[in-house]
Structure 1
């Protein structure tokens, strides 16, 4: 998912049956996890790296995923799916790489895992932001996204923005490493008062149980997770304020800084998929709408 500024040093986590149990489950299925993945030789920085050639020769690309619906996860049948893995299959097939292999890890470990060669590319719908752009290089975004809240039915506190959360002294939760942490802090919420939970399912549980007034996440994950809830609902999507201006996030694939050749080849195929409409056809089954398709570039988002 989405989006964050990395793990927060003062997180308080709530047990959940989602991302962590999923990682345990895929390990039981024999899917390699990041910690046990073999290393590959460091790519040469000459001429933009040689990873694309090596992937073509091997016929497989290893995808770092974070076990988060709908961005990249293993389904109940043990099959790799999600918007990023399905898009990766389409792009890498066009690049001459026939297979994708999942390497599940925690969201906050995706960039360290990529740069330590535990997998070849991050395929987790990761938001592009200036901090991350100092550590990895991004393809152009394949989607854009606003935020939304999970609140109790009827939205009794009238929460529609981070400023509302601060002014109405609502108890607030969001996910591990989510960008929403920074948006809430930027609006004046005390970081130490934020309840950090594993993901949107745990956030829904916290709202339904009355442990918090609101959970913040991407508009897509929020509207999907509340569909079967009788106690909670999603607010309308909104743009968080960054430096006083509405901000729209974009999610993209991440590559090691030396691998500009692979990133550029990926971007070329992504542009073709956008132009033909195939990108939307790939993302639509995961709840994406036409309004979430985008022409934003990584360069724009890296600039902040």
Structure 2
């Protein structure tokens, strides 16, 4: 968790993303998102909402995306892809909605954008947590995720969890809006000492240059970003401690609180994909493993 101010990246299977390519990807997504802005469905006062019916009628659903490999990005051919868009294509097709359109934004703007109807659904691998559950409703997670660190080759500071970071007074960085900020604070790291960076590419660059000792992110994004680095590596994934207990986070699609009918219909199709094994087949090309498939529910992660 998810999981920030995420810039769109190139296909991780074909290229090592650069800052310039990320900005170009954002521009491409912006052009896509700008098309048909007036088609965003408006709010309904009907019990459970009527967004599903209206999306079926218009034939398109607009996805709020924060541009991060592997969750949602532009590939080398200029096509929107990633685990969330590809999963959205399958599920919304089954719900009678043929087209998905991206609306790019910063991660911190996803929930405000959803609730102000800039798009219909958040599709960004967003972690489900109690604070967010007060603002939106979540589908059940389509994946679970551990944290991981980007560290210098050989992990010279021997940093394997947030407690290590605190005890060794390591220079710590993570991304804008990342859940890893709270994970570090929970372990005792001073919030004001955390270096918040735009994304994991910037984090990798900072570790390689020696400006920080560690950058924290999700295991899947950290695995990807260090692939071609000669100076950095991914530390072993781990479960952070939250309220003294190991925490495994789950990433999910988010919906406006009034739209329970759409969320429930989405969940029905998601459960079918989990049962058949098709969900893993959709997510596997983006670096997800069987260990990251999950039966966690949004209710569990929301705290009740």
Which TM-score applies when normalising by structure 1?
A: 0.92
Kindly state the Cα deviation for residue 231 of structure 1 after the two structures are TM-superposed: 0.3
Q: Residues 161 and 240 of structure 2 are in contact (CA less than 8 Å); yes or no, is this contact kept in structure 1? A: yes
Give the secondary-structure state (helix, strand or coil) at the position aligned to 1:216: strand
Residues 179-204 of structure 1: CA deviation (Å, up to 9, x unaligned): 00001111111111111111111111
Q: Is 1:122 aligned to 2:134, yes or no?
A: no
Give the secondary-structure state (helix, strand or coil) at the position aligned to 1:46: coil
Paired residue for 1:22? 25
Paired residues, number: 293
Paired residue for 2:13? none
Give the secondary-structure state (helix, strand or coil) at the position aligned to 2:32: coil
Which TM-score applies when normalising by structure 2?
A: 0.92
Q: Residues 16 and 198 of structure 1 are in contact (CA less than 8 Å); yes or no, is this contact kept in structure 2? A: no
Paired residue for 1:11? none
Q: How does 1:120-199 map to 2 (within 5 A)?
A: 120-199=120-199
Kindly state the Cα deviation for residue 39 of structure 1 after the two structures are TM-superposed: 6.8
Aligned equivalents of 2:21, 2:192: Cα separation in 1: 24
Aligned equivalents of 2:93, 2:126: Cα separation in 1: 21
Give the secondary-structure state (helix, strand or coil) at the position aligned to 1:224: helix
Aligned equivalents of 2:34, 2:131: Cα separation in 1: 26
Q: How does 1:36-75 map to 2 (within 5 A)?
A: 37-38=37-38, 40=40, 42-75=42-75
Q: 1:18 to 1:301 in 2, by over 3 A?
A: farther
Provide structure 2 residue ranges, at least 5 long, that are not aligned to the other structure.
7-17
Aligned equivalents of 2:130, 2:244: Cα separation in 1: 17
Q: What do you get for the CA RMSD once the two structures are aligned?
A: 2.0
Aligned equivalents of 2:80, 2:131: Cα separation in 1: 29
Aligned equivalents of 1:242, 1:22: Cα separation in 2: 35
Aligned equivalents of 1:261, 1:26: Cα separation in 2: 29
Aligned equivalents of 1:254, 1:274: Cα separation in 2: 18
Q: Residues 40 and 62 of structure 2 are in contact (CA less than 8 Å); yes or no, is this contact kept in structure 1? A: no
Aligned equivalents of 2:38, 2:45: Cα separation in 1: 21
Kindly state the Cα deviation for residue 302 of structure 1 after the two structures are TM-superposed: 0.3
Residues 114-169 of structure 1: CA deviation (Å, up to 9, x unaligned): 00001000000000000000000000000000001000001001000101001001
